[in-house]
């Protein structure tokens, strides 16, 4: 069903929701533009090797230790000595400052994330199925176009236009980096992390499903209608989550110096695909991660999210507290498997059988228009007999 056809079937109440939500999303972004015009200060600061770590680090919003680490110097190197005297070459300083500047948060992005999540949430809970439509017409529910438009906006605006930072993955890592003294303002990192967690809880992983630029890019690649048979095979959640959790534990052990003996080493730094949005491929491993994730995303659902992303792992741990989410009415459910087949992960299966450790749900809506007995919905209130939560 085309977008116009879907819109024409919405009730007056739903059209009001659509227009009101679109206006709210636009106003949110407009407010963000007014409060934080793009192209803020900092990009043009001129640094030289005649300056010391103590002079440069505050301009980059990192601690002296963090800058020393980036420059490959010991963490306890004198912070008042000119960098040239410490053996730092101008090109090396330029490279490092460019990299650290690319991590400065484009604050406007927080507003765009909110706008995309709000729109997605209203689409899933209020608009996806026209009020007057019954289960016989379920194939007309949840057209893909609004989702695809949201994904493209996410990639273009929160990715290529506004750059790589902030993003949920870095939000999850920076909170731990600030614990080893790599940021001067740990409170700001805590707030940023809580912001992303809140957007994951308000709707089940909505920030990942609808707004994260690298998640959206993988979703778009997966939506290319080829290799359909291969796509039906799902990676076992027990394996993907074990790999993702193992990497997360390894990150902590390296970061706190329990492995490698040097505090402050961040293994995700070598696997961070968000550099794509600044065309900043700092290491071969970053370029390889991006290429592998995007090629694999054509036939495996969000491979980076399933196997690597620390925010994917942390948000999976909190998704049982999500307010709006896929809910299965077990009194109606006949366990026919239609939603399980439609789901690109083991997420629908976990919800149908109310598994304690269900796979992540990215709120993609694929399972919401396939149930022949109308037993699966995306909602807030828990209706009688609805489950989808761990027993
Ligand atoms: S899990 Fe995927 S969508 Fe979520 S933050 Fe990580 S990369 Fe983005
Ligand atoms: S198809 Fe799977 S991932 Fe998508 S909304 Fe349904 S349960 Fe979640």
Asked if 387 and 327 touch (Cβ cutoff 8 Å), the reply is yes
N-terminal to C-terminal alpha carbon distance within the chain: 37
Residue 27 included in any domain: yes
| Nearest ligand, measured from the Cα of 215 | 1
Domain that holds residue 86: 53-102
pLDDT value of residue 19: 96
Answer whether residue 228 shows pLDDT above 50. Answer: yes
Q: What is the pLDDT of residues 205-224, one digit of tens each?
A: 999 999 999 999 999 999 99
Both 183 and 98 in a single domain? no
3-state SS, residue 378: strand
- 322's CB contacts (< 8 A; 6+ apart) are 200, 201, 202, 203, 204, 205
Q: What is the pLDDT of residues 264-314, one digit of tens each?
A: 899 999 999 999 999 988 899 999 999 999 999 999 999 999 999 999 999
Residue 385 included in any domain: no
- Residue range 172-181: average pLDDT? 93
Task: Look at ligand 2, atom 1, and give the residue with the nearest C-alpha.
Answer: 343
Residue 45 included in any domain: no
Q: Specify the DSSP class assigned to residue 312.
A: H
- Residue range 162-190: average pLDDT? 93
pLDDT value of residue 39: 58
Both 314 and 324 in a single domain? no
Both 184 and 261 in a single domain? yes
The lowest-confidence range among 30-39, 131-140, 146-155, 167-176 is 30-39
Instruction: Report which ligand 1 atom has the smallest distance to the Cα of 216.
Output: 3
Both 156 and 22 in a single domain? yes
CA–CA gap between residue 192 and residue 39 (Å, rounded): 20
Residue 327's φ and ψ, nearest 5 degrees, are -130, 135
Both 211 and 359 in a single domain? no
Task: Look at ligand 2, atom 2, and give the residue with the nearest C-alpha.
Answer: 343
From 322, 362, 365, the mutation candidate for ligand 2 (largest count of ligand atoms within 8 A of CB) is 362
From 164, 310, 311, the mutation candidate for ligand 1 (largest count of ligand atoms within 8 A of CB) is 311
Q: Across the chain, what does the average pLDDT equal?
A: 91
Structure tokens at 303: 């491979």
Q: What is the pLDDT of residues 79-122, one digit of tens each?
A: 889 999 999 999 899 888 888 887 777 899 999 999 999 999 99
pTM: 0.89
Q: Report the domain count for the chain.
A: 3
Which of 239 and 381 is assigned the larger pLDDT?
Answer: 239
């Amino acid at each position: 069903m085309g977008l116009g056809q879907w819109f024409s079937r919405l009730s007056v109440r739903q059209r009001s929701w659509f227009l009101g939500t679109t206006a709210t999303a636009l106003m949110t972004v407009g407010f963000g533009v007014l409060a934080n015009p793009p192209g803020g200060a900092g990009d043009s600061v001129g640094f030289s090797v005649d300056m010391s770590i103590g002079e440069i680090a505050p301009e980059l919003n990192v601690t002296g230790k963090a800058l020393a680490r980036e420059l490959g110097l010991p963490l306890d190197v004198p912070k008042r000595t000119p960098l040239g005297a410490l053996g730092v070459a101008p090109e090396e300083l330029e490279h490092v400052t460019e990299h650290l500047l690319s991590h400065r948060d484009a604050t406007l992005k927080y507003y765009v994330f909110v706008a995309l999540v709000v729109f997605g949430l209203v689409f899933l809970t209020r608009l996806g199925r026209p009020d007057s439509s019954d289960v016989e017409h379920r194939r007309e529910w949840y057209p893909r176009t609004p989702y695809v438009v949201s994904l493209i906006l996410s990639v273009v605006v929160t990715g290529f236009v506004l750059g790589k930072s902030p993003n949920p993955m870095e939000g999850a890592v920076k909170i731990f980096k600030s614990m080893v003294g790599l940021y001067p303002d740990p409170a700001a990192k805590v707030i940023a992390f809580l912001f992303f967690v809140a957007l994951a809880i308000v709707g089940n992983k909505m920030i990942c499903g609808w707004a994260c630029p690298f998640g959206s890019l993988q979703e778009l690649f997966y939506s290319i209608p080829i290799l359909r048979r291969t796509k039906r095979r799902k990676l076992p959640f027990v394996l993907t989550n074990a790999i993702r959790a193992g990497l997360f534990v390894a990150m902590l052990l390296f970061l706190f110096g329990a492995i490698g003996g040097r505090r402050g080493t961040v293994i995700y730094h070598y696997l961070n695909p968000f550099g794509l949005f600044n065309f900043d491929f700092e290491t071969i491993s970053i370029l390889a991660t991006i290429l592998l994730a995007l090629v694999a995303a054509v036939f495996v659902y969000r491979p980076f999210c399933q196997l690597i992303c620390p925010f994917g792992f942390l948000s999976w741990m909190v998704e049982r507290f999500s307010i709006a989410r896929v809910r299965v009415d077990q009194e109606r459910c006949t366990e026919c498997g239609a939603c399980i087949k439609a789901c690109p992960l083991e997420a629908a299966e976990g919800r149908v059988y109310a598994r304690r450790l269900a796979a992540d749900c990215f709120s993609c809506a694929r399972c919401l228009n396939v149930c022949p007995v109308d037993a699966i919905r995306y909602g807030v209130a828990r209706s009688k007999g609805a489950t989808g939560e761990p027993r």
